[in-house]
Every structure is written in structure tokens, then in C-alpha cells.
């Protein structure tokens, strides 16, 4: 990195000359302007377009989010990269909308008319252009201590991450729980999941998943499974993201008391989330199930649902409920485990 140093006098003269030149040529950037369906006129700086929303920074209300389908006209100067819903990528001198139609002026603009609804996003990240992966994830923990007549210690942890490109996706998840009351451990479990998804044309994808888990207080020394599945992305918008998967898995179960077994099972997953409450909080639900095809009265069900919300910078909080049902545990043990927790974590 090189640094250039100039005498103060030269800097002052250069700045005065630049300001005079801008004033003479009228090159001072004009604010962006939007006109909405209801006749409202908004002046500010367009920050970007993504997920059907145009974000505008204003002097009177800070950052505001406007649904694309509410915009009649828009004028934002300055180079911008636009990605259309059909995958076309264009570099335009500005973002212009007239009578709800995109005005495309670059030499490589496709023929035909495009509405603002045909704009998927502006200034896409490299992975959204087919280059590399986008990495997201969260590491969180919940700690509970009680002292007095009863001494309890509770510790829950969770680490999950996703690497995604336009063609495929890798997912890893690890969570666990260790609880102790009056010096006696009364909960100790963990689970790990690894998945690979390959996207097909449209909303379909196929994948392979592998999982291992242990819960000594539910008589489970180790359960692991491996198998393929087909998935469908039903919706993928911030207000509702919903996907479902179904496939077959080979399951091996080692119990502490019950008889060990292995079998071919049906496996399914439902994953949903929504920012309906506001743009930064997230309602989420994840359900997985395994059905023993050899002994059809045996089923394992897991359900996690909760609400995550931002606290400070990249620190997030989450309140959630986790339910686990296993019909194969010994009769003297509860088939349903319930966990209620408040987690604090770091997201990236």
C-alpha cells in the first residue's frame, strides 16, 4: 500500500480548484428520487435492491424499506450491477424505473421490456454471480446456575454453518446439553448433522445427509444414519422461507438397556423461517423424522421452534423449545423429552 503526502498549501489549492470545478460544471450528485403508487415522493439514497425490497437512506427517517411492487418510478445515478430474475447480469450507469418498467441502456441489455419485479437484486455478491461460496453461521450457548437449597448447573451449546453457492450447499450442525443437579448429572446429550445439497432446475434439489447422536439419559448410546433425499424449496422470501425433504436412510442404534438394532428408514425434514414480526427478528421451525420401515410402530421425531432477535452488532438472542420423541425407548423412560432454553450467540 502506497501513501502520498502533500504540503498543506497544495492540498488547500487542489480542494478549492476541485470545488470550483464541480460548481462550474454542476457535477454535484443529485439525490435519488422514488415515486410510489400512492403518489408519495421519497428523496434519499438508494442503498440496494434485494428480496423484493428497495432500501433507501433518508434524512428524515433514516433507512426505510419499500416493496418493489409499490414503486412507479425511480431515478438513482451511479454505476450499478443488476441481476434479473432470469439470471441476466447487467452493468448500468444507474438504476432507472419509468412507469414501473426498468430502463436499460447498456449495450448488452437484453431485448424486450422488463418491469421492476424482474429485478432480483442490485450489486450482487460474488457467490450470487456463480463465483465461490457464501458462508453464514452461528455459535451460541445457554448457561444456567442456581445456588441455595438446590444447586443446578445447565449448559447448552449449538454451532451451525452453511456454505452456499448457486449450484450446491453444505450444512453442518452440532448441538448438545449437559445438566447437573446437586452434584448429580441428569442430562447429557449431543447430536451432529452434515448435509450436502445439489440444486436442480427450478425449486428441486437432491442431497445426502449423515447424522450421529447420543443421549445417555434416554438409553441411547449412539444412533447414526446415512442416506439420500429429494428436496423442494417451496418459498424463499424473507417473509417466508419453506423447504421440505424426503428420502431413505440406513439407521444403526446402540442402546444401553434396550436391544441394539439397525434398519432401513424413511427420513423427512421440514424447515421454515419468517421475518414477519420485523426485518431483524426471525421466527423459525425445524422438524425431522425417522420412521422404521422394518417395525412400523417405531418412529423418532425432533421439533425445534423459536424466535431469534438481534442484541448488539452480530450478537443475537433466541428463545426456543425443543421436543424429541422416541417410541423405542424402554417403557420405564419417558418417550418425550422437552427442553426450553434462551440462547445468546454470535452470527456471521
Domain of 105?
A: 31-124
Residues 339 and 196 in one domain: yes
> What digits encode the pLDDT tens for the residues 146-157?
776 667 888 999
**pLDDT given at position 86:** 84
Where residue 23 falls among pLDDT bands split at 50, 70, 90? very low
**Residue 315 resides in a domain:** yes
Residues 116 and 82 in one domain: yes
- Given 73, 94, 124, the domain boundary residue is 124
Q: What is the dihedral of CA 214, 215, 216, 222, to 10 degrees?
A: -30
Answer whether residue 74 shows pLDDT above 50: yes
- Given 95, 124, 153, the domain boundary residue is 124
Residues 140 and 107 in one domain: no
The number of domains in the chain is 2
- Given 71, 97, 124, the domain boundary residue is 124
Angstrom distance (rounded) from CA 172 to CA 160: 6
**Residue 17 resides in a domain:** no
**pLDDT given at position 17:** 42
**pLDDT given at position 28:** 54
Answer whether residue 39 shows pLDDT above 50: yes
Mean pLDDT of 8-29: 44
State the residue for C-alpha cell 502520498. Answer: 4
Mean pLDDT of 311-338: 88
What's the CATH code of the domain at 329? 2.40.160.40
Return the minimum-mean-pLDDT range out of 12-16, 80-84, 85-89, 182-186: 12-16
**pLDDT given at position 276:** 86
> What digits encode the pLDDT tens for the residues 240-256?
999 999 999 999 999 99
Amino acid at each position: 500500500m502506497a501513501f502520498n503526502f502533500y504540503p498543506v498549501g497544495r492540498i488547500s489549492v487542489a480542494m478549492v480548484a476541485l470545488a470550483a470545478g464541480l460548481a462550474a460544471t454542476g457535477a454535484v450528485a443529485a439525490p435519488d428520487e422514488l415515486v410510489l403508487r400512492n403518489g408519495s415522493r421519497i428523496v434519499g439514497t438508494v442503498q440496494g435492491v434485494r428480496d423484493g425490497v428497495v432500501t433507501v437512506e433518508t434524512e428524515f427517517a433514516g433507512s426505510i424499506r419499500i416493496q418493489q411492487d409499490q414503486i412507479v418510478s425511480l431515478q438513482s445515478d451511479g454505476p450499478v450491477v443488476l441481476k434479473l430474475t432470469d439470471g441476466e447480469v447487467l452493468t448500468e450507469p444507474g438504476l432507472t424505473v419509468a412507469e414501473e418498467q426498468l430502463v436499460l441502456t447498456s449495450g448488452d441489455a437484453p431485448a424486450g421490456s422488463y418491469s421492476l419485479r424482474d429485478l432480483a437484486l442490485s450489486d450482487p455478491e460474488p457467490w450470487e454471480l456463480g463465483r465461490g461460496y457464501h458462508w453464514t453461521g452461528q455459535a451460541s450457548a445457554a448457561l444456567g446456575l442456581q445456588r441455595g437449597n438446590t444447586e443446578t448447573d445447565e449448559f447448552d451449546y449449538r454451532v451451525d454453518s452453511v456454505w452456499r453457492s448457486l449450484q450446491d450447499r453444505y450444512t453442518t450442525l452440532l448441538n448438545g446439553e449437559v445438566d447437573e443437579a446437586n452434584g448429580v448429572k441428569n442430562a447429557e446429550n449431543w447430536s451432529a448433522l452434515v448435509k450436502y445439497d445439489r440444486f436442480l432446475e427450478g425449486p428441486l434439489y437432491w442431497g445426502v445427509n449423515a447424522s450421529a447422536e447420543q443421549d445417555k439419559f434416554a438409553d441411547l448410546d449412539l444412533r447414526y444414519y446415512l442416506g439420500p433425499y429429494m428436496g423442494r424449496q417451496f418459498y424463499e422470501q424473507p417473509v417466508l422461507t419453506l423447504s421440505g425433504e424426503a428420502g431413505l436412510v440406513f439407521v444403526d442404534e446402540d442402546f444401553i438397556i434396550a436391544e441394539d438394532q439397525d434398519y432401513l428408514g424413511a427420513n423427512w425434514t421440514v424447515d421454515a423461517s419468517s421475518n414477519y414480526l420485523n426485518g431483524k427478528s426471525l421466527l423459525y421451525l425445524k422438524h425431522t423424522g425417522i420412521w422404521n420401515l422394518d417395525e412400523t410402530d417405531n418412529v423418532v421425531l425432533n421439533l425445534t421452534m423459536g424466535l431469534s432477535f438481534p442484541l448488539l452488532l452480530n450478537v443475537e438472542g433466541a428463545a426456543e423449545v425443543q421436543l424429541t420423541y422416541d417410541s423405542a425407548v424402554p417403557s420405564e423412560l419417558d418417550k418425550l423429552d422437552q427442553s426450553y432454553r434462551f440462547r445468546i450467540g454470535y452470527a456471521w
